[in-house]
Amino acid sequence: MMNYFYIENSQDITNSDLQNLRMFYTPIIGPSAISLYQHLLDLHNLYNKDKKYDFAETSEFLLLNEQLLFASKDKLEAVGLLKTYQLEDGWLLFELIKPLNANEIANNPLMSNLIKDNIGENRYKEIVNAKANFSFKKENLKEVSKKYYEVFEIKEDILKPRMTQFDFTISNYDNVIDDFKSEDFVENFTKLSISPSQKALIKKLRELNFNDTCINRFMNFSIKVNHAIVCSYVEKIAKDYANRNLFSADAIDTELSAAYFAKTSQKEANYSYNNRNIEYENAVNNMRFISEDLDWDD
């Protein structure tokens, strides 16, 4: 089972859209998939847009085991309500898609036939007519709307290009580890000015002969484990590597990746065990030699 996922929603999904979701999609994909969609939307609306979520916690919250959770995900993808992307670290990105409205359902042969097969022709017509948007035929009508220049005075410079540039992409902190100075890496993550304690931490680590790429890897590990840059935690890790004369960014990255995998495997195994499923137990036992040597939580 995958460990974590992100959620993206670039569309304005309204209460009317959620009503369309329940009325038109429930007969096709069932209540579990509907609950998963609404839960993903709630998470996206409640928290920071770059927050990562835990599959185990989602499964527990929705009272769905792993098999049912992923079956529900597959159903959402099949009817075009969800797109799934795999990130470089193996985690997933879920993109929520707005449900079709009644007019769009009526013009979609696959969806309309699936709904009719499940609830019958008469019930289907009743729901579509209740939810559809009706409009006048305007082909033979003359439009008499005013143009902008007929209402407002146009200034000379109003039509000159004055584009303001925006960057609406969500930062992936793994991609800036190698390129950013450590101070910039901290500010990129926190979206705040670097604090005195963070400055002192970076200074200490540089005095230990770590370059910024190594320091960024230590801080990124803290972000993954603690969801924050915990200065004491980062310093403890760095001192451990300094004591072992490990200053290569590649070697540090390899060990930190192994340590993180051990931590997440242990957490996932504990969750499975609590649900009387111990399929991960052997895998975790094989990873203990890594987690024991690279455990900085004590």
pLDDT tens-digit readout, 21-39: 999 999 999 999 999 999 9
Q: Which pTM was predicted?
A: 0.55
Q: Which of the four pLDDT bands, split at 50, 70 and 90, describes residue 189?
A: confident
- Residue type at 44 in one-letter notation: H
Taking a C-beta distance cutoff of 8 angstroms, is the pair 84, 57 a contact?
Answer: no
pLDDT tens digits along 133-172: 888 888 888 899 988 888 988 877 777 777 777 666 655 5
For the chain, give every domain's residue range: 4-131, 173-293
User: In the prediction, which pLDDT does 1 show?
Assistant: 44
- The phi-psi region of residue 207 (left if phi > 0; otherwise alpha if psi is between -120 and 50; otherwise beta) is alpha
pLDDT tens digits along 225-248: 888 899 999 999 999 999 999 999
Helix (H) or strand (E) holding 115: helix 109-119
Q: Is the pLDDT of residue 293 over 60?
A: no
Taking a C-beta distance cutoff of 8 angstroms, is the pair 177, 185 a contact?
Answer: yes
User: In the prediction, which pLDDT does 34 show?
Assistant: 97
Most distant CA pair in the chain, distance: 83
